[in-house]
Amino acid sequence: MGNDYIEAARVFHEITKHSYTSVRSSPHFLDWDNKPLPYKIYPGAASVALPRDLNLSSTPTLAALSSYVPADFSAPIETAALTRILFCADGLTRHKRMGADDYHFRAAASAGALYPIEIYVAASDVEGLETGLYHFSPADLRMAGLRRGDWRGYIAEAAAKRPSILRARAVIAMSAIYWRSEWKYRARAYRYCYWDAGTILANLLAAAAAEEISAEVITAFGDPALEAILGIDGEREGMIALVALGHTDEPAAPSPPCEPLTMETIPLSSNELAYPDLVKMHRESRLVTVEEVAAVSAAKIDSIQHSSSANALHLETITSEESARLGETILRRGSSRAFAQEAITAEELATIMAASSEHPQADFPALTDTYLIVNAADGMHAGAYYYDRNARAFEMLKLGNFRGEAGYLCLEQPLGMDCSALVVYMADLERALNALGNRGYGDAHLEAGILGGRAYLAAYSLGRGATGLTFYDDDTTKFFEPHAAGKSPLLMVALGIPRSRMKS
């Protein structure tokens, strides 16, 4: 792929960087009266109620995070299992009354609690569910019926005949309604949508593994075909990823013709805005022709050169059995609003890092590297580290107390200063873009979101806290140089002891 082709992502990344100066020179005021609704509602659609007696998984969280089901494992999927997966991914888990407003919180973390991601399900072979295309509604745990028929063949055709889709029992399509996140984050929201999709995927993949259902994430597909079937425009609402769920030996039946979908949805705000830089970025990263999909789908990339030195730290980890059950973790998860400036143990940190390191089952290669600022971990020196995802080892980059720097880098939020460790997912974006074109931009952010989402789950399963954080881009790279030269921070996750919930 030529350089012209990846210029869009390069430019977008550059102009959406945060710096000490940019956040002061370009303030943004939130228009609360125009805050978008976090749910997509089809008032005219017939919908099916999903089972409410969920009985969530009792698999230990760490086991669910580290296991996956082979792609050809052919067990049936029941509606109840599909519902548990959808609930663990994006379910409504908590309400909080603040003044006159009722805030809804979901199973996975979402920057600003804006929930830009929508989930659709093309069910081909789900016991108890009519074959068809549905939209998942977390608010009332229902699915709105959008189209009858088996759409697996149609989706597989759009995704370079990906075997996992051709044989899937259900295919999940995830999109983003950008305005929800743009309302607060403006054009930079494009990055947030991929992070948020990533945290949902972290939960979804863990829940699927706990149900013994195979799951593969796919981002190489023709956008126009997916937009047409979902009835979305690719500008206001764009595709993010597919997930092939389960396996059947039954070949896909021919899909019906894809007629235009004309179903009304409730407006999200009185005045929806579009940020042209985001619109351009998504337009340039869409895959349109069969050749483009095939090229991205077959793209090869050299594996990340890990550079652990001989004296890298290999630490003991905690066994899966000692972690909370997945269902409990999902219900307990939240984002820590303040940390206690206390230490977690080095063993806990090593366990969380290991759980957040495995590359997910996906059609794109590993694109991210992990760095950390350790503020306080019993059994480890405070300092800056590179974490080798393959060797599961910590390489010290500089020794010292960097609480002040950690607090500064995450946009001067006390959470970075007070946490036990600040995890920074980074990527050499040139490497990603050269291999995957502009599409690699979303892939790298999605991967960071998945790894960050897993760090959340692992932390909560051990009784510790976590929160996603945003950051000053170039200052973060500088802090980790020379090791991180040429790499861009994609997401931060702070780990620690929540101030109000200290573990005895």
Ligand X SMILES: Cc1cc2nc3c(=O)[nH]c(=O)nc-3n(C[C@H](O)[C@H](O)[C@H](O)COP(=O)(O)O)c2cc1C
| Residue 163 binds ligand X (CB under 6 A) | no
| Residue 113 binds ligand X (CB under 6 A) | yes
| Residue 35 binds ligand X (CB under 6 A) | no
| Residue 470 binds ligand X (CB under 6 A) | yes
Burial (CB count within 10 angstroms: exposed 0-12, middle 13-18, buried 19+), residue 339: buried
As a whole number of angstroms, the distance between CA 479 and CA 483 comes to 10
Kindly tell me which of 315 and 493 has the beta carbon lying closer to ligand X. 493
276: three-class secondary structure by DSSP:
helix
Encoding tokens for residue 285?
Answer: 């990263």
Q: How far is the CB of 223 from ligand X (least distance, A)?
A: 23
| Residue 143 binds ligand X (CB under 6 A) | no
As a whole number of angstroms, the distance between CA 158 and CA 294 comes to 10
260: three-class secondary structure by DSSP:
coil
For the chain, the maximum distance between any two Cα atoms, rounded to a whole number of angstroms, is 63
CA distances from 407 to 328, 349, 372, 476, 478 (A): 31, 19, 13, 11, 15
| Residue 490 binds ligand X (CB under 6 A) | no
Q: How far is the CB of 113 from ligand X (least distance, A)?
A: 4
**How many residues bind ligand X, per CB under 6 A?**
19
Residue from the set 63, 92, 109, 296 that interacts with ligand X by CB under 6 A:
109
| Residue 111 binds ligand X (CB under 6 A) | yes
As a whole number of angstroms, the distance between CA 61 and CA 325 comes to 5
Burial (CB count within 10 angstroms: exposed 0-12, middle 13-18, buried 19+), residue 383: middle
The one segment of 175-183, 193-201, 228-236, 390-398 that binds ligand X by CB under 6 A = 193-201
Q: For ligand X, which residue has the nearest CB?
A: 468
Kindly tell me which of 214 and 470 has the beta carbon lying closer to ligand X. 470
Kindly tell me which of 91 and 365 has the beta carbon lying closer to ligand X. 91
| Residue 205 binds ligand X (CB under 6 A) | no
Encoding tokens for residue 198?
Answer: 């990533």
Q: How far is the CB of 465 from ligand X (least distance, A)?
A: 10
Residue from the set 51, 112, 163, 463 that interacts with ligand X by CB under 6 A:
112
Residue span 260-299 as binding mask against ligand X, x where in contact by CB under 6 A, dash where not: ----------------------------------------
As a whole number of angstroms, the distance between CA 112 and CA 114 comes to 5
Site for ligand X in 396-425 (CB under 6 A): 413, 415
Residue span 298-337 as binding mask against ligand X, x where in contact by CB under 6 A, dash where not: ------------------------------------xx--
Encoding tokens for residue 480?
Answer: 């980790």
As a whole number of angstroms, the distance between CA 368 and CA 493 comes to 14
Residue from the set 181, 199, 285, 351 that interacts with ligand X by CB under 6 A:
199
- Among 156, 166, 127, which residue's Cα sits nearest to residue 250? 166
Residue 334: in which H helix or E strand, if any? Answer: none
Contacting residues toward ligand X, per CB under 6 A: 105, 109-113, 192, 195-196, 199, 334-335, 413, 415, 467-470, 491
